[in-house]
């Protein structure tokens, strides 16, 4: 196996490879671009015109997706997986990965679309570097652009594997992309309705990629992900990489649940209180009239929507950031 296929091993050790570029027997080029960043380019004659960005480890303790990308890289480096797509593999926050922490000072996934310019420190610099790498990768015109940012969640979920689809004014969400996600094992998609500051929001809004944050189960340490079943996702990623996706699935959502954002719960001060059990699961339903949270100056969030559910509740975020999202079922009428 080519040494560059061991990107995770290099990243965990904080080492640079001796050779920055290597070729497989079939002529696939692997090029190290910096810490936790590797470009894979197929031979020109096999290139099918897709640029695929696969990122994981934006939160350093979310190890199942990191292990999945490691598996894909090993297969490419051994010649077992023969790419037809051009791929950028990114491990988002290397130092947090090494320490097994979600982040060190700041949540990297809240530092995109200009937010890193308003901050300082290692993680702001890393967000800037990730934007630069993605912008360069997606700079070739007339190619299909797709970005999957792979995560696991702090808490359990009533719907274990789901995706978040960013929003951009004047751009419609794609039914065929949701069908692709359904085939990859995603049971639900949250269709967002406002601009955001996550990595996929940057690639979707600024770089015109189709981009999705994928939540794949509960975060666990390396080697303890036996309960996170990524078989369908792994199969679909291998098909994407090799240019072997089945054509007949183009519009089938296979019972996928769709949700839209009703409201975001923003923590304004240290007085913020979230009135939910500490172990509440994502997509737990909340009854109308339920006092969800309160803050200074009599600010209250009371559930008013039918069928409302909570995702990503986290009262420990910094002031000014989102402490949860209230979502409601969507009929997907806006899909194209």
Q: Which residues are catalytic?
A: 215
Asked if residue 12 lies in contact with residue 4, where contact means CB atoms within 8 angstroms, the answer is no
Label residues 305-323 b or e (16+ Cβ within 10 Å = b).
eeebbbbbbeeebeeeebb
Location of structure tokens 């072997």: 244
The closest alpha carbon to 204, from 228, 232, 174, belongs to: 174
Closest CA to 148 of 54, 68, 216: 54
Q: How far apart are CA 277 and CA 303, in angstroms?
A: 16
Judge contact between 31 and 137, C-beta under 8 A.
no
**DSSP conformation class of 184:** T
Contacts with 249 (C-beta within 8 Å, 6 or more apart), sequence order: 179, 180, 182, 183
């Amino acid at each position: 196996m080519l040494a560059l296929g061991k990107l995770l091993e290099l990243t965990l050790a904080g080492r640079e490879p001796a050779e920055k570029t290597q070729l497989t027997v079939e002529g696939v080029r692997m090029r190290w671009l910096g810490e936790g960043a590797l470009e894979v380019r197929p031979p020109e004659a096999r290139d099918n015109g897709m640029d695929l960005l696969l990122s994981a480890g934006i939160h350093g303790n979310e190890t199942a997706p990191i292990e999945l990308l490691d598996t894909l890289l090993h297969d490419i480096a051994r010649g077992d997986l023969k790419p037809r797509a051009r791929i950028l593999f990114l491990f988002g926050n290397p130092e947090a990965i090494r320490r097994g922490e979600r982040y060190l000072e700041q949540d990297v996934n809240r530092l995109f679309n200009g937010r890193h310019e308003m901050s300082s420190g290692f993680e702001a610099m890393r967000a800037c570097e990730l934007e630069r790498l993605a912008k360069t990768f997606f700079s070739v015109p007339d190619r299909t652009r797709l970005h999957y940012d792979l995560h696991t969640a702090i808490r359990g979920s009533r719907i274990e594997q789901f995706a978040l689809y960013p929003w951009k004014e004047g751009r419609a969400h794609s039914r065929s992309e949701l069908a692709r996600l359904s085939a990859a094992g995603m049971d639900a998609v949250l269709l967002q309705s406002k601009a955001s500051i996550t990595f996929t929001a940057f690639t979707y809004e600024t770089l015109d990629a189709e981009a999705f944050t994928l939540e794949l189960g509960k975060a666990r340490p390396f080697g303890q992900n036996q309960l996170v079943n990524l078989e369908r996702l792994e199969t679909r990623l291998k098909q994407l990489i090799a240019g072997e996706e089945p054509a007949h699935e183009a519009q089938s959502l296979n019972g996928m649940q769709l949700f839209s954002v009703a409201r975001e719960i923003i923590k304004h001060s240290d007085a913020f209180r979230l009135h939910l059990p500490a172990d509440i699961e994502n997509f737990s339903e909340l009854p109308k009239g339920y006092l969800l949270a309160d803050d200074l100056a009599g600010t209250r969030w009371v559930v008013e929507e039918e069928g409302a559910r909570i995702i990503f509740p986290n009262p420990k975020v910094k002031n000014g950031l989102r402490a949860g999202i209230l979502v409601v079922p969507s009929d997907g009428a806006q899909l194209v």
